[in-house]
Structure 1
Amino acid sequence: MNRTQKGEIIEKLRSKASTASIAIVTDFKGLKVEEVTPLRVKLRESGVDFHVVKNTLARIALNGTPHDVLNDSLKDCCAIAFASGDPVSAAKIVVEFEKGAKNFSTRFASLEGTLLSSAQVDALAKLPAKEVLLAKALGTMNAVPTNFVGLFANILRNFLYALNGIKEQKEQSQTV
């Protein structure tokens, strides 16, 4: 690989890293290309880029990006998954694939510049998707005014029952 090819790889990785919300570093030592292909397909469907790259090139590319916290930890064979969208979905795909693969593991990750251990990536993968969290938050915010309206409707209904009761008492006292 000549210098221009290395420069192109570095620029490509730098552009991916600068827009990515999460960068997950994985170990794939001992896996064949055919065994990693299903992971690549799932990641690509979710809009996640998965790159096998030399550590020196990755260090240069990540320098000056939010994910430069990974530089000190890049060792041995590794691949990096960059997700610019929902970080939870990327973590779910990688952790799910890790459960079924023998020689594949998640080493660590960078979530918007914060270094995460493998256990923290597993915990991130257990979170509900962004859409589910937004739906729950919206449901909670919608419940407050709905309950408020229901409360006032009950107060008004009870007030009307009381007025109706007073009216009936007065009608009975006038007829007697």
Structure 2
Amino acid sequence: MRPEKQYLVDEAIARLSASDFVFLMNFTGVSVSDAAELRASLRACGAEYHVVKNSILNIAAKERELPDLSEVLEGPTAIISGGDAVTEVAKAIVDFLKTRDRSDVKIAVMDKKLLSKDEIEALSKLPNLAGMRAQMLSLFLIASAQGILNVLKAKSEKEEA
């Protein structure tokens, strides 16, 4: 492989290695100002948006041992990776695409598993990690308080009897 091409493959591998997930997006009809808007919203999540040649992306995906992406690698492709919260990145992408008719998410790979467009949209509706932790904590607190009340109620009923 020519050094120039190997450099591009190495860059694509670095992008794919930036996180446990990657979104592949069709960027047809995305203007420069739209791309700048998307990049800004992704930057807030710690993610990046890069346009990659399909042949280069296919080679990089095989080297990273990702599932076969060849059937979705048609037309212009951008990869979105990086960031810690996959839900926040998915939300930024879905929000961006709501107003764009011609661009679309092709597919996503998370933990080496393919996610469909519907799964990506469902992922975007989940709370982020901090939100999930808060929900779990509130469940534990409510359950603990309810458990203590049940014990006290049972003890008082036993003493009355």
TM-score by shorter chain over 0.5: yes
Could you list the runs of 5+ residues in structure 2 that have no partner in the other structure?
none
Q: Please state how far the C-alpha of 1:157 moved relative to its aligned partner.
A: 4.0
What is the number of equivalent residue pairs in this alignment? 161
Write the deviation string for residues 78-116 of structure 1: whole angstroms up to 9, x where unpaired. 101013522111111111100112332111111211112
Decide which structure has the larger Cα Rg and report it. Answer: 1
Counterpart in 1 of 2:85? 86
Counterpart in 2 of 1:50? 49
* Identity of matched residues, %: 24
Name the amino acid aligned to 2:97.
Answer: E
* Higher normalized helix content (fraction of residues): 1
Higher relative contact order (CA 8 A, sep 6+): 2
Q: TM-score normalized by structure 2?
A: 0.85
SS of residue paired to 2:84: coil
Name the amino acid aligned to 1:139.
Answer: S
For 2:124 and 2:64, how far apart are their aligned partners in 1?
A: 24
Q: Please state how far the C-alpha of 1:159 moved relative to its aligned partner.
A: 5.4
- In 2, are the aligned partners of 1:63 and 1:71 still within 8 Å (CA)? no
Counterpart in 1 of 2:134? 135
Supply the RMSD in Å over aligned alpha carbons. Answer: 2.3
For 2:52 and 2:32, how far apart are their aligned partners in 1?
A: 14
Displaced runs of 4+ in structure 1, greater than 6 A? none
Write the deviation string for residues 154-176 of structure 1: whole angstroms up to 9, x where unpaired. 3344556x49xxxxxxxxxxxxx
Q: Please state how far the C-alpha of 1:66 moved relative to its aligned partner.
A: 5.1
Q: TM-score normalized by structure 1?
A: 0.79
